[in-house]
Amino acid sequence: MAAKKAWWTNPVFHQVILGTYDDGSPFARLRGCSHILEMIFHRLLDVWRSHLDTDMVGYVKLEWVRRILRTRSPRNDAAGPRLIEFPPPNDIDGDPQPFHVNMMPFILGDERSLPESCRRYQPIILQCIRCLGHNEEGKVNYLTIHEGWVEPDRSQRREGLHVEASGGDGFVDQNIEVHWGGGYPRSKPSLWRHFHGVHHSRGIRGPFGDIEHLRSVLDEDTHGYRELEANELIWITDATPHESLPVKERTFRQFFRLVTNNVTYWYADHSTANPLGIQPDAEIIHGDKFGSTIATDPSVAPQRCASSS
**pLDDT score of 197:** 43
Do 16 and 118 reside in the same domain of the chain? no
Judged by average pLDDT, the poorest of 58-67, 159-168, 290-299 is: 290-299
Residue 285 counted as domain residue: no
Residues 43 and 111 grouped into a single domain: no
21: pLDDT strictly greater than 70: yes
Work out how many domains the chain is built from and give that number.
2
Residues 19 and 158 occupy one common structural domain: no
Domain range for 74 is: 59-263
Confidence bin at 48 (pLDDT 50/70/90): confident
pLDDT tens, residue by residue, 268-289: 888 999 999 999 988 888 876 6
Q: Are residues 44 and 85 in the same domain?
A: no
What length is written for the chain?
309
Average pLDDT over residues 139-167: 79
Residue 182 in any domain: the answer is yes
Q: Kindly state whether residue 169 falls inside one of the protein's structural domains.
A: yes
Q: Do 254 and 232 lie in a common domain?
A: yes
Considering the domain boundaries, does residue 274 fall inside one? no
Q: Does residue 42 form part of some domain?
A: yes
pLDDT of 109 above 50: yes
Give the count of alpha carbons within 13 A of 107, CB side only: 16
- Report yes or no on 291 lying in a domain: no
Domain assignment present for residue 205? The answer is yes
Beta-bridge mates of residue 180: 233, 256
Q: Are residue 153 and residue 232 in the same domain, yes or no?
A: yes
Q: What is the largest CA-CA distance in the chain?
A: 69
Rounded Cα gap, residues 10 and 237, in angstroms: 25
Taking all residues of the chain, what is their mean pLDDT, rounded to a whole number?
A: 71
* Neighbour order of strands in the sheet with 295-296: 265-267, 283-286, 295-296
Cα separation, 290 vs 274, in Å, equals 23
**7 and 95 housed in the same domain:** no
In this prediction, residue 128 carries a pLDDT of 81
Do 11 and 42 fall within a single domain?
A: yes
112 lies in a domain?
yes
248 and 209 fall within a common domain: yes
